[in-house]
Amino acid sequence: MSGQNIPVVSLKQFTEGNDADRKAFVDTLGKAYEEWGFVAVKDHGIDEDTIDKLYHNVKAFFNMPTDDKLKYEIAGLAGQRGYTSFGKESAKGSDTPDLKEFWQQGQYKEEGAPADENYPDNVEVNELPEFNSTLYTAYRQFEKAGGALLRAIAIYLNLDENYFDDKIEFGNSILRCIHYPPIKNEPKSAVRAEQHEDINLITLLVGASAEGLQLLTKQEEWMAINAGPGQIVVNVGDMLQRLTNNKLRSTTHRVVNPPREMWGTSRFSIPFFLHPKSKMRLDCLDNCIDDANPIAYEPISAGEYLNERLVELGLLKKED
């Protein structure tokens, strides 16, 4: 295991700072995403009260009887809304299901939302009156923080600061609430969630309830990631890596099992996968292509790429 840790940045330095502050933030963020693919972010604007309510309601849902939870597992949605029961998802290239169950909340059909996206309806939990309203509040706060980070990334890539704005407004983002249940029998693997890369542009992870997240460094070493109090972890996803022709790194990561003495405990984790609209093109940016870095990916849209990956994860059946 490597003993290093990921860089820490303050989002306020970008959103409220002067020109010098903003430039320093952009440079630090961009270089971190080239080197690590991960940063810890403080002063991110996702308030502590929302985070506390989010974890309270998520734990209450996963503590419900299995039969009650299964009412919210909707066939045909490829796990993109509502509940997905234990052992249904596996990492790309893995035959072993991850040791988790999860809930997914997607974009909301509000005034201004694009009609051509045809987003599925979110699933309402009847037993917990604050569950859905709390997820809505968190979803919108994650969107705002993620949008600010993407504006900094756009500047680093020598794009217009607002390059991503219209592409992520009412985008196909997912708030995923994950429960890794207690380990009751000797596991087949030391890993709760096999090594993988995220699909989306960036992922914002708030306050996992226990340690276990690790990233794979350029030196092929697994490094534990532990954000400090009030910090969130934000990493590059495959869509952004693809768009930047590998300039920004979508780093392999995993969740490992706890020490044996902690097997009887649950782990909760709530990542926000920031996706653009389906029609956004992920074709490699011209300014990320040169003789030393020839084009690495075929042209594709975000929607097409998402469907490919959902098939690989076993959540969507491949069309003939």
pLDDT above 90 (res 144): yes
DSSP letters for 79-147: TSSEEE-TT----TT-SSPPS-EEEEE-----TT--GGG-PPPPPP-SS-TTHHHHHHHHHHHHHHHHH
* Max CA distance (Å), the chain: 58
- At residue 219, the pLDDT reads 85
Which residue do the tokens 């502590």 mark? 48
Distance (Å) of CA 77 to CA 72, 272, 312: 11, 18, 15
Is 149 in contact with 163 (CB distance < 8 Å)?
no
The band of 1, judged by pLDDT with boundaries at 50, 70 and 90, is very low
- Is pLDDT of 207 > 50? yes
- pLDDT of amino acid 88: 65
CA 285 – CA 273 distance, rounded (Å): 22
String of DSSP letters for 151-220: HHHHHHTTS-TTTTHHHHTT---EEEEEEEPPP-S--SSSEEEEEE--SSSEEEEE--SSS-EEEE-TTS
Where residue 317 falls (left for φ over 0; alpha for ψ -120 to 50; beta otherwise) is beta
Rounded (to 5) percent helix, strand, coil in the chain:
30, 20, 50
Considering only CA atoms, which of 26, 38, 3 is closest in space to residue 233? 38
Alpha-carbon distance of 83 to 239, in angstroms, equals 25
Length of the chain in residues, anyone?
320
- Is residue 271 very low, low, confident or very high in pLDDT (cuts 50, 70, 90)? very high
Strand partners, 206: 232, 270
User: In this structure, how many other beta carbons lie within 10 angstroms of the beta carbon of residue 20?
Assistant: 9
Alpha carbons 123 and 120: distance in angstroms, whole number: 9
Average pLDDT value for the chain: 87
How far apart, in whole angstroms, are the C-alpha atoms of residue 310 and residue 290?
31
The owner of tokens 């590998």 is 246
Domains of the chain: 8-312 (2.60.120.330)
- At 3 the pLDDT is 39
Task: State residue 174 phi and psi, 5-degree precision.
Answer: -130, 130
Is the model's pLDDT at 150 over the cut of 70?
yes
What's this model's pTM, rounded to 2 decimal places?
A: 0.89
Strand-pair partners of 273: 174, 203
Measured over the CA atoms of residue 115, residue 236, residue 229 and residue 104, the dihedral's sign is positive
pLDDT at 119: 87
314 has pLDDT over 70: no
288 vs 295: CA distance, rounded Å? 8
- Mean local confidence (pLDDT), 186-205: 77
- Distance separating alpha carbons of residues 238 and 37, to the nearest angstrom: 10
Within 10 Å of residue 227's Cβ, how many Cβ atoms? Answer: 22
